[in-house]
Amino acid sequence: MSRAPSVKPLVRSSIIEGVGRVVLSDVEENNVLTRRLVDEAIAAHDALAGEGVRVAVLAAEGSAWCGGGDFKAKREPGVPPAALELFSTLNGSPMVWIAAVHAPVLGAGMHLASACLRVLMADDAWMSVPGWSEGRFPGPLTAELARIIGHRRAVRLAMTEERIEAVECLRLGLADAVVPARDLQGSAQRLGRDLLAADESALAAARQAWSRRLETPPGQGPHP
């Protein structure tokens, strides 16, 4: 009796020194946010949350950190793309997320990175919003980028398909640190440990503020 071939996971997770780690590893498809990849990533998130993890790193393998949304997927009217479920999961996560970006980030991958409170980029990584030359304008992504880098810059990126090098990502605020590629994973792990050592209530407040992109809730005034 022959065995059914095993299916290689597209996402791996672990806990190292108290810091969670989720690795996108659909190398053949450049970590495009397919239904299966999203489902596995959300399952990995839920497993870490169930273990009480408070800080986690989102990393990837292959020639792209994330190749964007799945444009091959059949779309049903009124049903949002699978990628939006992953963005929502990270944005509402009980954990603080650190994106460790080792390679190009395309389209919806930028939205995925922006859902993380901290973004570390390798010095040879870059970001881009593709689609304009193919007749697409990514409204949800542009709106998300506008909250971080401003409306006109976000629209320009969406209309030019410009390649944004790591140093420029840092200047614009799409990343908060650029490190040598060989140091990226170690730097992300050290940052994770530092965040674990921070005051828990302050860390939770920072996470919640970022989930609202730092907007002050109605009825609350400024704080010292």
**Sorting pLDDT into bands at 50, 70 and 90, what band is 215?**
low
pTM for this prediction:
0.91
What is the distance between the alpha carbons of residues 82 and 84, in angstroms, rounded to a whole number? Answer: 5
The whole-chain average pLDDT of the chain stands at 92
Using CA atoms, how far residue 10 sits from 26, 36, 71, 73, 82, in Å, is 5, 8, 18, 17, 15
pLDDT value of residue 2: 52
User: Do residues 130 and 161 make contact, with C-beta atoms less than 8 angstroms apart?
Assistant: yes
What percent of the chain has pLDDT above 70?
A: 92
User: Do residues 185 and 22 make contact, with C-beta atoms less than 8 angstroms apart?
Assistant: no
